[in-house]
Amino acid sequence: KNQVEQSPQSLIILEGKNCTLQCNYTVSPFSNLRWYKQDTGRGPVSLTIMTFSENTKSNGRYTATLDADTKQSSLHITASQLSDSASYICVVSAGVPTDSWGKLQFGAGTQVVVTP
Amino acid sequence: NAGVTQTPKFRILKIGQSMTLQCTQDMNHNYMYWYRQDPGMGLKLIYYSVGAGITDKGEVPNGYNVSRSTTEDFPLRLELAAPSQTSVYFCASSYDSAGRSNYGYTFGSGTRLTVV
């Protein structure tokens, strides 16, 4: 069973509207949670990284939240643009700071399509 | 431009053929990784390296080999291509390990491999 579950699998939104993507995880021990944007035919690009003690982090029109108690994260996109059309991937890092190697667990992604 | 460079971008192999996917980075990152991405699935780790001369298996290493003779290069070798290896392959690098670091991974643009 995948330790990182994302929802919805896909969504279509009108340009200018907001949307929120969800990520639930069971990875333990938790080190940090990352959101990546992956354009079609490209590699993932980092949007935000949050540690256990951080509740929210923003990167322009992208705002990520983290509830480490419930093991949930969300990514909110404000005033969507056509260039936001992409797959958004939630990635959770397992491990403790003393580990020489922290393993990443990838969600399957949410495919976002922004229409004019 | 600094980053991770992968070659080739596309390749079609016949069953039983071999090939090497090239990956090089110019950011002096110690950590490098190979992932494969299958439709509807999260990225899966094939092999990783924590420095020149040091490599280790990830989640799905069967059918692949790697080497790390320099900090910059991390080639992935497929010896006997099988249809199950049809996938998109991403190379990535990072300054520090996923567990300790708040640094994001830098991904290459991917190699789309089809085995027929």
> Per-residue pLDDT averaged across B35-63, rounded?
92
Interface of A with B in 26-65 (CB under 8 A): 31-32, 34, 36, 41-46, 49, 51
Helix/strand/coil (H/E/C) assignment for every residue in B19-51: EEEEEEECCCCCEEEEEEECCCCCCEEEEEEEE
Lowest mean pLDDT segment, chosen from A8-12, A54-58, A99-103, B96-100 = A99-103
Residues of chain B with Cβ-Cβ distance to A34 below 8 Å are 104
pLDDT at position A103 is: 74
Q: What percent of chain B has pLDDT over 90?
A: 80
CB atoms within 10 A of CB A66: 23
Which residue type, as a one-letter code, is found at position A51?
Answer: T
pLDDT at position B83 is: 96
Kindly report the backbone phi and psi dihedral angles of residue B15, in degrees, each rounded to the nearest multiple of 5, phi listed first: -55, 135
Residues of chain B with Cβ-Cβ distance to A51 below 8 Å are 102
pLDDT at position B7 is: 96
pLDDT of residue B98 exceeding 70, the answer is: no
Cβ within 8 Å of residue A60, ≥6 positions away: none
Residues of chain B with Cβ-Cβ distance to A93 below 8 Å are 98-99
In B1-116, the DSSP E strands lie at: 4-7, 10-13, 19-25, 31-37, 44-51, 54-57, 64-66, 76-78, 87-94, 106-107, 111-115
Give the minimum alpha-carbon distance from A16 to chain B in angstroms, rounded to a whole number. Answer: 27
pLDDT at position B96 is: 78
pLDDT at position B101 is: 58
Q: What is the mean pLDDT of chain B?
A: 92
Q: How far apart are the first and last CA of chain A?
A: 37
What is the pLDDT confidence band of residue A88, given thresholds at 50, 70 and 90? very high
pLDDT at position A72 is: 96
pLDDT at position A28 is: 80
pLDDT of residue A98 exceeding 80, the answer is: no
> How far is residue A31's CA from residue A102's CA, in Å, rounded to a whole number?
8
What is the pLDDT confidence band of residue B102, given thresholds at 50, 70 and 90? low
pLDDT at position A97 is: 53
Residue B8 forms contact with A (CB below 8 Å): no
What is the pLDDT confidence band of residue B17, given thresholds at 50, 70 and 90? very high
Interface of A with B in 58-97 (CB under 8 A): 89, 93-97
User: Both tokens of residue A65?
Assistant: 């939240």
Q: Of the candidates B50, B56, B99, which has its C-beta nearest A31's C-beta?
A: B99
pLDDT at position A32 is: 87
| Cis geometry, peptide bond prior to residue A44 (ω within 30 degrees of 0) | no
Q: What percent of chain B has pLDDT over 70?
A: 94
Cα–Cα nearest to A41, from B37, B75, B46, B48: B37
> Per-residue pLDDT averaged across B9-25, rounded?
97
User: Both tokens of residue B111?
Assistant: 């190699």
* Beta bridge partner(s), residue A72: A24, A67
What is the pLDDT confidence band of residue B100, given thresholds at 50, 70 and 90? low
